[in-house]
């Protein structure tokens, strides 16, 4: 499922790596453009939510990304 949704997210940006990198850079410190978030960025966001911080690291290397 993670792989499938990752491909769908890439398709939405026409498989443009530069566009992906640009959009990821722009959303590093803001909670926007979730679809381009990496697994690390999802974990970073979860640590800011009260009650989820202690569970956020359980997602490390899980494949969960913004496209899901």
Q: Identify whether 37 is part of a domain.
A: yes
CA distance 34 to 47: 15
Structural domains of the chain, count: 1
Confidence of residue 11 (pLDDT cuts 50, 70, 90): very high
Q: Identify whether 65 is part of a domain.
A: no
Kindly report, residue by residue over 12-66, the tens digit of the pLDDT: 999 999 999 999 999 999 999 999 999 999 999 999 999 999 999 999 999 999 9
55 is in which domain, residue-wise? 2-59
Q: Identify whether 28 is part of a domain.
A: yes
Q: Give CA separation, 28 vs 1, 4, 67, in Å.
A: 24, 24, 15
pTM: 0.86
């Amino acid at each position: 499922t993670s792989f499938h949704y990752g491909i769908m997210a890439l398709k939405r940006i026409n498989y443009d790596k530069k566009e992906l990198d640009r959009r990821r850079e722009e959303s590093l410190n803001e909670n926007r453009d979730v679809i381009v978030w990496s697994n690390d960025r999802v974990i970073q966001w979860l640590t800011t939510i009260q009650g989820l911080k202690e569970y956020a690291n359980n997602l490390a290397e899980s494949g969960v990304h913004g496209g899901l």
